[in-house]
Amino acid sequence: MPRAPAACAFCAVVAGADAHRVLDEASVVAFLDRAPLIKGHVLVVPREHVETFDDLPPALIAPLFSAVQRVSRAFGRTLGADGSYTAINTRISQSVPHVHVHVVPRRKGDGLFRAGMVWIRRRYEGDEAAQLAARLREAIAAS
């Protein structure tokens, strides 16, 4: 297993750092993005430190994307989303060098894609993130 850099923010979450987790399994962890594109935006990461999608071992692909699918499915039941947007940056625009999949709840007319794709990050207020994470955990567990 590659050794994670001491400052890897996602390895810190995997190790137990404070995050609004929605899924915690043997191979993957999923948690709310702290600056979501749309509230409910989840990051799904392998527990193992792998820098990019191109480097992801074949054995981790199925557990990673199984988790992504379950998160996406939970959006409809939990948030009333019409669908989801799923994305992976590899090197370019990859803000954390630990492979991660963005799973973003979508609604028709939500304005996520505008000319130039200038995305506005949002913030959670009060205990909104904790409540949302709990609802998503329940929906994922029930799937």
Active site residues: 100
For residue 122, the SS3 value is coil
Q: Minimal CA–CA distance to 42: which of 98, 87, 12?
A: 87
Count of H-run helices and E-run strands, the chain: 3, 5
- 70 vs 143: CA distance, rounded Å: 7
Q: Please check whether residue 97 is in contact with residue 45, taking contact to mean a CB–CB distance below 8 angstroms.
A: no
Distance, in Å, from the CA atom of 94 to the CA atom of 96, rounded to the nearest integer, reads: 6
Q: Report the alpha-carbon distance of residue 38 to residue 61 in Å, rounded.
A: 25
| Alpha carbon distances (Å) from 55 to 25, 47, 61, 69 | 21, 14, 11, 21
